[in-house]
Amino acid sequence: MVDIKNVVVVGAGQMGHGIAQMSLLAGYNVTLVDINDDFVNKGWSKIDEGMKKLETKGSLPEGATAAGLMANCKKSSNLASAVKDADIMIEAVVEKMDVKKQVFKTAGDNAPANCILASNTSTMSITDIGKDSGRPDKCIGMHFFNPVPLMRLIEVIHSNNSSDDSVNKGIEFAETIPCLRGKRYVPKVLKDRPGFICNRVTAPAQIYQNYVFDKAAAEGLSWDQLDNDGLGGPMSMTVLADYVGIDVLYHGQMYYSQTLSPDFAPGKVITQMFNEGNLGAKTGQGFRDWTKGRPSPDKSAGKAKLYQLKYPLAIMLNEACRVLEEGIATSWKVIDDTLMAGMNMPGPMASNQKTYQRQVDVLEELVELTGKEYFKPCEMLKSGKWVEMK
Ligand code: NAI
């Protein structure tokens, strides 16, 4: 068992309460921290509710009770004192660099010297977040997926300054965190690059989606028609975008446009909705009207014949090859397993071992179609060297 007893989770929201609950189930003492008692109490009650449900189903660890486990969950709205005897801090506060940096500075100033400081950021640089902590070698990324109890993936990220010891300790710890649906998968992310592995591989498909949204709007096609083109998943394209949140898409695309390529810049349709505050499910209006529950596209509207699944599949293979090219991972199998654990979808690499040359052609066709240079097939893909990197 890893040498960790006391876990401090900062941010008691959607991710923080899930991380805290799973850490309690693993047998750790947990302190849940937020900016005021109200937020802490809300997070604590959600954990309590989750524990009671597991108890009713008989799913708690042998001999454990919900009340017993919750007795190990302290509450605090004072980070400086909460980290006094912490072995690891996991930060899950809002996705804002200055807020995260301040949390790392306060924790760095007050936690014991050997305490690891981990961030659950989904996009930002761990190197930057940990810069002012006074212990950049102890700062790592620990990226959980939503919902934490059910999604198997935890990416552990090596920043430019993390020591190998800190990363290995983070991995050992993450592997002890239970998952209610199968065994945790904890890949080591070797470089601190935008989107890490899972989000990075899928991110550029958004460039193609923006192209499709904007073209459909320009041609006067309806969202129903576009949705009828089919996305290959349980939710249609515009419903999924609304569900994720137009603001989340917008901010993510802005971030990738500044860090990876200007081609990621939000398209006209997304920008307009963002500016008008039509953010999707959370505001009741996005592409769709959500005021009467989850909308279902009108199947009788016919197809737009715009969106083609072959493109995102080729895009993901190309991006997975870039992940290898940049040394973020060194094995295509790790990338495939990461996608399966984080998104419940098969990664692009096992299925393209022999047919990748065809994807090179598809990507070149896509550059021609959209004018987006980012879709150019990378050297790693074209050379086929990635096939050897098992
Ligand atoms: P959330 O909005 O549900 O929760 C954030 C919490 O942080 C709020 O309770 C807020 O009061 C608290 N907070 C803000 N400033 C604080 C401070 N200085 N000290 C202590 N608490 C503070 O957000 P969510 O969705 O839980 O996201 C948290 C982090 O996890 C973000 O970095 C996000 O990018 C990342 N993440 C989110 C995923 C998602 O699907 N929601 C998936 C993976 C990562």
Please indicate, yes or no, whether residues 221 and 348 belong to a single structural domain of this protein.
no
Residues near ligand 1 (Cβ within 6 A)? 10-16, 33-35, 39, 92-95, 99, 103, 120-122, 144-146
Query: For 112-167, what is each residue's pLDDT tens digit?
Result: 999 999 999 998 999 999 999 999 999 999 999 999 999 999 999 999 999 999 99
* Distance separating alpha carbons of residues 179 and 22, to the nearest angstrom: 7
Query: For 325-336, what is each residue's pLDDT tens digit?
Result: 999 999 999 999
pTM as predicted:
0.95
Distance from Cα 41 to the centre of ligand 1, integer Å: 15
Task: Please check whether residue 174 lies inside any domain of the structure.
Answer: yes
Are the beta carbons of 211 and 265 closer than 8 angstroms?
no
Which of 267, 301, 335 is the endpoint of a domain? 301
Distance from Cα 89 to the centre of ligand 1, integer Å: 14
Nearest CA owner, ligand 1 atom 39: 146
Distance from Cα 93 to the centre of ligand 1, integer Å: 4
Q: What's the CATH number where 355 sits?
A: 1.10.1040.50
Please indicate, yes or no, whether residues 248 and 377 belong to a single structural domain of this protein.
no
Q: Can you give the residue range of the structural domain that contains 57?
A: 6-192
Q: Probe ligand 1: pick from 94, 144, 254, 255, max atoms within 8 Å of CB? A: 94
Residue 346 main-chain phi, psi, to 5 deg:
-65, 135
Q: CB atoms < 10 A from the CB of 31, how many?
A: 24
Please indicate, yes or no, whether residues 61 and 135 belong to a single structural domain of this protein.
yes
Which of 301, 335, 369 is the endpoint of a domain? 301
Q: What residues pair up with 143 in beta bridges, in sequence order?
A: 155
Distance from Cα 311 to the centre of ligand 1, integer Å: 33
Please indicate, yes or no, whether residues 181 and 230 belong to a single structural domain of this protein.
no
Q: CB atoms < 10 A from the CB of 64, how many?
A: 15
Please indicate, yes or no, whether residues 61 and 113 belong to a single structural domain of this protein.
yes
**Paired sense of beta strands 154-157 and 139-144, if any:** antiparallel
Q: CB atoms < 10 A from the CB of 154, how many?
A: 27
Distance from Cα 354 to the centre of ligand 1, integer Å: 42
Task: Please check whether residue 121 lies inside any domain of the structure.
Answer: yes
Closest ligand 1 atom to 121 CA:
32
* CA of residue 31 relative to chain centroid, distance: 23
Q: What's the CATH number where 284 sits?
A: 1.10.1040.10
Nearest CA owner, ligand 1 atom 38: 146
Tell me which amino acid residue 103 is. V
Please indicate, yes or no, whether residues 124 and 183 belong to a single structural domain of this protein.
yes
6: left (phi over 0), alpha (psi -120 to 50) or beta: beta
Please indicate, yes or no, whether residues 318 and 293 belong to a single structural domain of this protein.
no
Nearest CA owner, ligand 1 atom 14: 93
Distance from Cα 212 to the centre of ligand 1, integer Å: 31
Nearest CA owner, ligand 1 atom 12: 11
How long is the chain? 390
Task: Please check whether residue 1 lies inside any domain of the structure.
Answer: no
Please indicate, yes or no, whether residues 173 and 60 belong to a single structural domain of this protein.
yes
Closest ligand 1 atom to 100 CA:
18
Are the beta carbons of 207 and 263 closer than 8 angstroms?
yes
Please indicate, yes or no, whether residues 31 and 168 belong to a single structural domain of this protein.
yes
* Distance separating alpha carbons of residues 320 and 336, to the nearest angstrom: 9
The two tokens of residue 255 are 């971030």
Question: What is the spatial order of strands in the sheet that 73-76 belongs to?
Answer: 73-76, 29-33, 6-10, 88-91, 116-119, 139-144, 154-157, 188-189
pLDDT at 234: 75
Nearest CA owner, ligand 1 atom 36: 122
pLDDT at 96: 87
The two tokens of residue 83 are 């980290």
Please indicate, yes or no, whether residues 157 and 17 belong to a single structural domain of this protein.
yes
Nearest CA owner, ligand 1 atom 17: 35
Q: How far is CA 209 from CA 155, 291, 315, 318, 332, in A?
A: 26, 25, 12, 16, 25
pLDDT at 1: 56
**Could you tell me the mean pLDDT of each successive run of 10 residues in the chain, 390 residues long?**
91 97 98 98 98 97 96 98 98 94 98 98 95 98 96 98 98 97 97 97 97 97 94 84 93 94 98 98 96 94 94 97 98 98 94 95 98 98 97
Please indicate, yes or no, whether residues 293 and 352 belong to a single structural domain of this protein.
no
Task: Please check whether residue 32 lies inside any domain of the structure.
Answer: yes
Are the beta carbons of 74 and 6 closer than 8 angstroms?
no
Nearest CA owner, ligand 1 atom 35: 121
Which of 192, 212, 245 is the endpoint of a domain? 192
User: What total of structural domains would you count in the chain?
Assistant: 3
